[in-house]
Amino acid sequence: MVQLVCVHGVATRPGDDLTRAVENRDALFARIVFPGIEHRVWSPVWGDLVPRVDPGVFDTDRSAQSLSLGTGGDDPGAGLGSGEGNQSGPDLAAIAAQAPSVAVDAVMAELVDRADAEGRALDEGELSAFERAATAIASGDAGKLLENAASDDEIAFNLAVDSGSYGIGNTIGAAVAAVTGRARNAVSTVAFGAVRDSLSPAIAFFLGDVFAYLKDGGLRARIRARVLADIAAAHAARKSGEPLVLVGHSLGGVILVDMLCDPGGAGLPQDLAVDALFTVGSQAGLFQSVGVLESGVNPPAKVARPEKVARWFNVFDPIDPLAFRADASFTGVEDIMFDSITGLASAHTTYFKRPQFYARFGKRLRQAVVIA
């Protein structure tokens, strides 16, 4: 049995939304990465340990003394576009013609995102469409899925496994329309405002959670204890020769690397052996470069991959403002870059909703002979 421990990142708190998102993520792991392979997913939750952030700190549009820049007035979007109705961006069919895997990936990510937002499980038709998309991306055949598709309706029809579930008003059709809308309005003032509004809380939660973890004391120890409990349980549950895989998103990846760099201090089992470590949209490389991890190595010297880790893959989207390379700070790590048209504000949160991720995740596990 494969033991998989997934450590969440910043801005993640217990509740129905997290429960449903984890269920959909695990369903995709089972369907795309581990079909017919016995596995168990462990999901330690530590976000509730971090002090609550007052949402009022995000309200930067609220009336306050303003400093005018003169030429642009007080409009932060001045000069960025023509306002509502701007259609200067490309449509999805144009993107698909040049980069079909990127277009397919964006639609499937939107599909999962909408299911999570609605608090429901992915249905069989959606899971089948996602599985086929991941298979096509993995084999380099994404272009065949969208061959000759010149409109939103035709793209939705091609992506749907069930021909009765592709029309406008259904989930795949709605996902295609949403991605097209974002692409066409990418530089409008309306889009700028939407990016600003959604990115500000994300950055604030990121900084708050990071500062809480990096501050020495009881909180950091309690966060590590939550993660340690599931790693130790997964380690104890596997039989001889069965693989252990660790995945950390965002600050979750930092926590894993921090603990693995000092396994004794973190209380990890002495005989722990990690077959594969995935840091996803993470900051381990950045934090090591400024010397705040438990590696015992001062920058600019590079740190060797943790001894207990056989393979380390660092996954990032280049437009994710909270993700960083790791190979500049560590040796023995493979950086993996995604191509996407995910919006700036959502790039950090959609890794586990994208066929590219699961296709590459499974490919790397097979290359590392973790799964057959």
pLDDT score recorded for residue 344? 66
User: Domain 2-49+193-367 in CATH: superfamily?
Assistant: Alpha/Beta hydrolase fold, catalytic domain (3.40.50.1820)
pLDDT of residue 69: 40
What averages of pLDDT result for each successive group of 10 residues across the chain (372 residues)? 96 93 98 97 95 66 47 34 44 85 93 94 94 95 90 90 61 91 59 44 71 81 96 95 96 96 95 98 92 82 94 94 93 92 78 96 95 92
At 59 the pLDDT is: 63
Task: Give, in order, the Cα–Cα distances in Å from 49 to each of 45, 52, 99, 208, 222.
Answer: 9, 9, 42, 12, 8
Q: What integer pLDDT is reported at residue 206 of this predicted model? A: 75
Question: What pLDDT is attached to residue 111?
Answer: 95
> CA-CA distance, 285 to 230, in Å (whole number)?
24
Question: What residue spans define the domains of the chain?
Answer: 2-49+193-367
DSSP characters over 105-139? HHHHHHHHHHHHHTT----HHHHHHHHHHHHHHHH
Instruction: Give the pLDDT score at 93.
Output: 86
